[in-house]
């Protein structure tokens, strides 16, 4: 079944309602038959498991009472025949026990694997649709911990916990029945510790619960710190911060360790306490049964049977402690998993899904981040189809926020953004994603070949189409020079690609989509002059064919734009062509002077200026 793709519920509302355990069962509701078979195998195995004790009692009965024994009453009068029959029964019982142990192990552990597989895919899939804002507030390492660690905790519980619970319950019923048949008096005495054990288990569970919640939260923090540090290893090394970071990580690790110790102190106390309760039940059977046998009111075989069975009844209950321990850890993890699944996904309620022209109209758009005062305010902006529009301005001015709003990765809190006269919330997300291609500053390359990476948005693209896109992005010549050309593996070679080469692959990837709208988010900030010039040439070739929105710090990138908008403190403060802006006093002219190192000449052509800026 693990091969079957899991049923994905994007709307998890009805799936994740209720107690975590109920949610787990809901998750495997289509596996009812397997659960029933696994439960039956656990019970049958338990029946076989208590049989040897009964056989010991019967064997004692045979050797003590001979021809008057219980087995003799079944028709086997010769004690030797009785022993042989008992031997055969013992063999069959052990064989049956082993067989059903194998079956329940395979079934329960298989189910545990399926549950973890389904939850992992469900969570990952859900995470992909969460609003951008969620990730800006979460540390991604915490998400990795949920997807890995927390789901593994759950698997550990399901692996053996369900079986232990069922078998303990079955043992109480089975052994209790035998006890009541043989001696109701001893049955009552032997069962006296059971309520104490169950009470103890619940007492323990209550105390353990909060401690395990802390353990899981600490595990999330530790995972987040580890991920951040491993990703930023180059920076740590460059600043010689290794010792400081080891100390910081050690503090997180100590936090996790301390939380675990608190949980361990509670969980370790359970078995010794339960052992004392078991001792009282065992002693009662031992003494009262012995006294009754001495008095002749109980057979030796029955006495032996009860003494052995008390162990069978009470000892497995110590296993409850371990199960409750696993259960508490698993439920703490499940609560974290469910809190992720209950995060509302980004709204996709639009229905408009037609070919896109690429015309934007923003009216009085405002957006403010909850966790800072940053954002954008009062944005009025028209972007005609096929125009190249640039956003420039100081850091923190709101450029990235604005393009996230245009791409509908964020929704404005007031005002409206329309694409081709239809507000963004009325478009399907699919249509928006299909029409806009992004070239980010930080390029992510995935495992696979260079060609696979260029074709990431259109896996069905032919090799010719991939090469054409690479040519347009001026990436073809360096890709052809790689050891295996377009088939060069990114896994083996990715680290060796320069920032500029990665950037050109990203541009090719975007161009292969042939989007109506191309968004370059500081795509040229960190690249060499040659790559910047190459990207400029690519953009020049597609002028008028698609709407291009580019965010840039380097003004040389934007001189050719049809309109340049300057953003400061979340507002648009200047708009115009390069030639217009350079002539007016304002931030653009100041930035230009700083970047070129000279005051602009009014007669300078765009090409002159561009050259000056790049030199
Ligand atoms: N995820 C976030 N949570 C809270 N505040 C944010 C977040 N992202 C940005 N901000 C704030 O919003 C404001 C605008 O940021 P934004 O990233 O849009 O500016 P920018 O012009 O793109 O800057 P840069 O040129 O440095 O990329 C800043 O004050 C920033 O601190």
Mean pLDDT, rounded, of the chain: 83
Q: How far away, in angstroms, is 372 Cα from ligand 1 center? A: 9
Same domain for 263 and 376, yes or no, is no
- Is 158 part of a structural domain of the chain? yes
Q: pLDDT tier at 405 (50, 70, 90 boundaries)?
A: very high
**396 CB less than 6 Å from ligand 1?**
yes
Distance from the first to the final alpha carbon of the chain: 62
Pocket test for ligand 1, best of 394, 399, 442 (most atoms within 8 A of CB): 399
Q: What pLDDT, on the 0 to 100 scale, is given for residue 606? A: 47
> Taking a C-beta distance cutoff of 8 angstroms, is the pair 414, 364 a contact?
yes
Segment 449-459 mean pLDDT: 91
> Taking a C-beta distance cutoff of 8 angstroms, is the pair 528, 500 a contact?
yes
3-state secondary structure of 474: coil
**371 CB less than 6 Å from ligand 1?**
yes
Q: pLDDT tier at 392 (50, 70, 90 boundaries)?
A: very high
| β-bridge pairing 388-392 and 547-551 | parallel
Q: How far away, in angstroms, is 393 Cα from ligand 1 center? A: 12
Pocket test for ligand 1, best of 135, 366, 368, 369 (most atoms within 8 A of CB): 369
Q: What pLDDT, on the 0 to 100 scale, is given for residue 557? A: 83
Sheet holding 414-419, edge to edge: 375-383, 360-368, 414-419, 422-423
Q: How far away, in angstroms, is 405 Cα from ligand 1 center? A: 12
Kindly report the pTM of this predicted structure.
0.71
**136 CB less than 6 Å from ligand 1?**
yes
- 230, pLDDT greater than 70: yes
**CA-wise closest residue to 83 among 56, 48, 44:** 56
Cβ neighbour number for residue 253 with a 10 Å cutoff = 16
Q: How far away, in angstroms, is 478 Cα from ligand 1 center? A: 35
Q: pLDDT tier at 139 (50, 70, 90 boundaries)?
A: low
- Is 487 part of a structural domain of the chain? yes
Q: pLDDT tier at 486 (50, 70, 90 boundaries)?
A: very high
**397 Cα nearest atom in ligand 1:** 21
Q: What pLDDT, on the 0 to 100 scale, is given for residue 12? A: 57
- Is 302 part of a structural domain of the chain? yes
Q: What pLDDT, on the 0 to 100 scale, is given for residue 191? A: 80
Q: How far away, in angstroms, is 414 Cα from ligand 1 center? A: 18
Q: How far away, in angstroms, is 328 Cα from ligand 1 center? A: 41
Same domain for 367 and 321, yes or no, is no
Which residue's alpha carbon is nearest to atom 16 within ligand 1?
398
pLDDT tens readout for residues 23-33: 877 877 888 89
- Is 7 part of a structural domain of the chain? no
pLDDT tens readout for residues 279-305: 888 888 888 889 999 998 888 888 888
Q: How far away, in angstroms, is 403 Cα from ligand 1 center? A: 11
Same domain for 138 and 202, yes or no, is yes
How far is it, in rounded angstroms, from Cα 516 to Cα 545? 8
Same domain for 109 and 188, yes or no, is yes
In three-state form (DSSP H/G/I as H, E/B as E, the rest C), the secondary structure along 257-279 is: HHHHHHHHHHHHHHHHHHHHHHH
**135 CB less than 6 Å from ligand 1?**
no
- 325, pLDDT greater than 80: no
Segment 334-363 mean pLDDT: 85
Tell me which of 274, 306, 341 is where a domain ends. Answer: 341
Alpha-carbon dihedral 254, 259, 263, 264, rounded to 10 degrees: 0
pLDDT tens readout for residues 558-592: 888 999 999 999 999 999 999 999 888 888 888 88
Q: What pLDDT, on the 0 to 100 scale, is given for residue 602? A: 46
pLDDT tens readout for residues 191-221: 877 787 777 777 777 787 788 889 988 988 8
**370 Cα nearest atom in ligand 1:** 4
Same domain for 377 and 460, yes or no, is yes
Q: pLDDT tier at 402 (50, 70, 90 boundaries)?
A: very high
Radius of gyration of the chain (CA): 36
Whole-Å CA distances, 254 to 141, 207, 232, 246, 247: 18, 21, 22, 12, 10
Q: What pLDDT, on the 0 to 100 scale, is given for residue 6? A: 42
Same domain for 174 and 88, yes or no, is yes
Tell me which of 341, 368, 394 is where a domain ends. Answer: 341
**400 Cα nearest atom in ligand 1:** 22
**CA-wise closest residue to 610 among 547, 542, 510, 524:** 524
Q: How far away, in angstroms, is 373 Cα from ligand 1 center? A: 9
Whole-Å CA distances, 34 to 31, 37, 39, 104: 5, 5, 8, 10
Q: What are the respective helix, strand and coil percentages of the chain, to the nearest 5?
A: 65, 10, 25
Same domain for 336 and 470, yes or no, is no
Q: What total number of domains does the chain contain?
A: 2
**565 CB less than 6 Å from ligand 1?**
no
Q: How far away, in angstroms, is 362 Cα from ligand 1 center? A: 19
Same domain for 471 and 601, yes or no, is yes
**372 CB less than 6 Å from ligand 1?**
yes
**394 Cα nearest atom in ligand 1:** 25
How far is it, in rounded angstroms, from Cα 130 to Cα 118? 18
Q: What pLDDT, on the 0 to 100 scale, is given for residue 160? A: 81
- 468, pLDDT greater than 60: yes
**398 Cα nearest atom in ligand 1:** 18
**397 CB less than 6 Å from ligand 1?**
yes
**563 CB less than 6 Å from ligand 1?**
no
**441 CB less than 6 Å from ligand 1?**
no
- Is 211 part of a structural domain of the chain? yes
Residues 6+ apart with CB under 8 A from 166: 39, 42, 43, 46
| β-bridge pairing 547-551 and 414-419 | unpaired
**Looking up tokens 């065992």, which residue turns up?**
282
In three-state form (DSSP H/G/I as H, E/B as E, the rest C), the secondary structure along 10-60 is: CCCCCCCCCCHHHHHHHHCHHHHHHHHHHHHHHHHHHHHHHHHHHHHHHHH
Same domain for 36 and 127, yes or no, is yes
- 42, pLDDT greater than 90: yes
**CATH code of the domain containing 171:** 1.20.1560.10
3-state secondary structure of 391: strand
**CATH code of the domain containing 524:** 3.40.50.300
Query: Strand pairing partners for 368?
Result: 375
- Is 541 part of a structural domain of the chain? yes
**400 CB less than 6 Å from ligand 1?**
yes
Pocket test for ligand 1, best of 140, 394, 398, 403 (most atoms within 8 A of CB): 398
Cβ neighbour number for residue 199 with a 10 Å cutoff = 11
**CA-wise closest residue to 517 among 542, 545, 546, 551:** 546
**500 CB less than 6 Å from ligand 1?**
no
- Is 9 part of a structural domain of the chain? no
Domain assignment of residue 589, given as a range: 360-614
Which residue's alpha carbon is nearest to atom 24 within ligand 1?
395
Same domain for 332 and 391, yes or no, is no
pLDDT tens readout for residues 48-94: 988 888 888 888 887 777 777 777 777 777 778 878 888 898 899 99
How far is it, in rounded angstroms, from Cα 125 to Cα 5? 12
How far is it, in rounded angstroms, from Cα 302 to Cα 473? 89
3-state secondary structure of 366: strand
**CA-wise closest residue to 278 among 316, 332, 239, 234:** 316
Q: pLDDT tier at 538 (50, 70, 90 boundaries)?
A: confident
**391 Cα nearest atom in ligand 1:** 21
**398 CB less than 6 Å from ligand 1?**
yes
Pocket test for ligand 1, best of 376, 393, 400, 412 (most atoms within 8 A of CB): 400
Q: What pLDDT, on the 0 to 100 scale, is given for residue 144? A: 81
**374 CB less than 6 Å from ligand 1?**
yes
Which residue's alpha carbon is nearest to atom 18 within ligand 1?
398
**369 CB less than 6 Å from ligand 1?**
yes
Q: What pLDDT, on the 0 to 100 scale, is given for residue 598? A: 60
Q: What pLDDT, on the 0 to 100 scale, is given for residue 442? A: 82
Q: How far away, in angstroms, is 401 Cα from ligand 1 center? A: 6
- Is 491 part of a structural domain of the chain? yes
Which residue's alpha carbon is nearest to atom 9 within ligand 1?
374
pLDDT tens readout for residues 419-448: 999 999 999 988 998 899 988 888 888 878
- 14, pLDDT greater than 70: no
- 5, pLDDT greater than 90: no
Same domain for 469 and 322, yes or no, is no
How far is it, in rounded angstroms, from Cα 19 to Cα 35? 19
Q: How far away, in angstroms, is 398 Cα from ligand 1 center? A: 6
Top pLDDT among 142 and 484 is at: 484
Q: What pLDDT, on the 0 to 100 scale, is given for residue 553? A: 83
Whole-Å CA distances, 426 to 345, 356, 357, 366, 376: 17, 13, 16, 19, 22
- 274, pLDDT greater than 50: yes
- 604, pLDDT greater than 50: no
Pocket test for ligand 1, best of 137, 140, 395, 401 (most atoms within 8 A of CB): 401
Tell me which of 313, 341, 369 is where a domain ends. Answer: 341
Same domain for 424 and 284, yes or no, is no
How far is it, in rounded angstroms, from Cα 345 to Cα 327? 29
**CA-wise closest residue to 193 among 310, 277, 285, 282:** 277
- 462, pLDDT greater than 80: yes
């Amino acid at each position: 079944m693990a091969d079957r793709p899991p049923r994905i519920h994007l709307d998890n509302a009805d799936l994740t309602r209720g107690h975590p355990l109920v949610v787990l069962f809901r998750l495997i509701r289509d596996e009812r038959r397997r659960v029933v078979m696994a439960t039956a195998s656990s019970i049958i195995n338990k029946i076989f498991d208590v049989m040897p004790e009964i056989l010991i009692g019967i064997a004692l009965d045979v050797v003590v009472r001979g021809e008057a024994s219980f087995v003799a009453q079944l028709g086997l009068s010769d004690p030797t025949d009785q022993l042989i029959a008992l031997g055969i029964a013992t063999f069959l019982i052990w064989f049956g026990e082993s067989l059903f142990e194998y079956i329940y192990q395979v079934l329960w552990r298989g189910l545990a694997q399926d549950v973890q597989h389904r939850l992992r895919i469900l969570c990952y899939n859900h995470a992909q649709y969460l609003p951008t804002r969620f990730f800006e507030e979460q540390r991604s390492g915490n998400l990795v911990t949920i997807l890995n660690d927390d789901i593994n905790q759950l698997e550990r519980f399901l692996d053996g916990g369900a079986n232990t619970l069922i078998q303990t319950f079955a043992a109480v019923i089975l052994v209790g029945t035998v006890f009541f048949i043989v001696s109701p008096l001893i049955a009552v005495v032997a069962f006296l510790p059971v309520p104490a054990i169950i009470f103890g288990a619940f007492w323990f569970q209550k105390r353990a619960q909060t401690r395990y919640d802390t353990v899981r939260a600490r595990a999330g923090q530790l995972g987040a710190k580890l991920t951040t540090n491993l990703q930023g290893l180059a920076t740590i090394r460059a600043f010689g911060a290794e010792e400081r970071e080891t100390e910081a990580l050690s503090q997180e690790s100590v936090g996790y360790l301390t939380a675990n110790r608190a949980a361990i102190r509670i969980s370790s106390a359970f078995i010794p306490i339960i052992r004392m309760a078991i001792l009282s039940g065992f002693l009662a059977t031992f003494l009262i049964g012995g006294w009754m046998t001495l008095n002749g009111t109980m057979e030796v075989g029955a006495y032996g049977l009860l003494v052995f069975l008390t162990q069978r009844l009470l000892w497995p209950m110590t296993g409850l402690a371990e199960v409750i321990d696993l259960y508490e850890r698993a439920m703490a993890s499940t609560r974290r998993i469910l809190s992720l699944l209950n995060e509302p996904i980004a709204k996709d309620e639009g229905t408009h899904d037609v070919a896109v022209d690429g015309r934007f109209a923003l009216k009085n758009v405002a957006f403010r981040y909850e966790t800072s005062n940053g954002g954008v305010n009062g944005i009025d902006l028209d972007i005609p189809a096929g125009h190249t529009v640039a956003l420039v301005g100081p850091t923190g001015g709101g450029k990235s926020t604005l393009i996230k709003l245009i791409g509908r990765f964020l929704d404005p809190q007031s005002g409206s953004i329309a694409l081709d006269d239809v507000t963004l919330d009325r478009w399907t997300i699919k249509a928006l994603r299909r029409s806009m291609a992004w070239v980010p500053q930080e390029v992510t390359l995935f495992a696979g070949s260079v060609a696979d990476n260029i074709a990431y948005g259109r896996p069905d693209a032919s090799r010719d189409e991939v090469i054409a896109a690479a040519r347009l992005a001026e990436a073809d010549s360096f890709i052809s020079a790689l050891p295996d050309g377009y088939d060069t593996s990114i896994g083996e070679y990715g680290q060796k690609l320069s920032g500029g080469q990665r950037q050109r692959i990203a541009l090719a990837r975007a161009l292969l989509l042939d989007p109506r709208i191309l968004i370059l988010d500081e795509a040229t900030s960190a690249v060499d002059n040659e790559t910047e010039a190459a990207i400029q040439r690519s953009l020049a070739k597609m002028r008028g064919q698609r709407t291009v929105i580019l965010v840039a710090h380097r003004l040389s990138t934007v001189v050719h734009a049809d309109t340049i908008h300057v953003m400061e403190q979340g507002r648009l403060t200047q708009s115009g062509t390069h030639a217009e802006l350079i002539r007016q006093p304002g931030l653009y002219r100041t930035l230009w002077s700083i970047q070129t190192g000279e005051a602009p000449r009014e007669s300078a052509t765009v090409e002159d200026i561009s050259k000056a800026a790049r030199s």
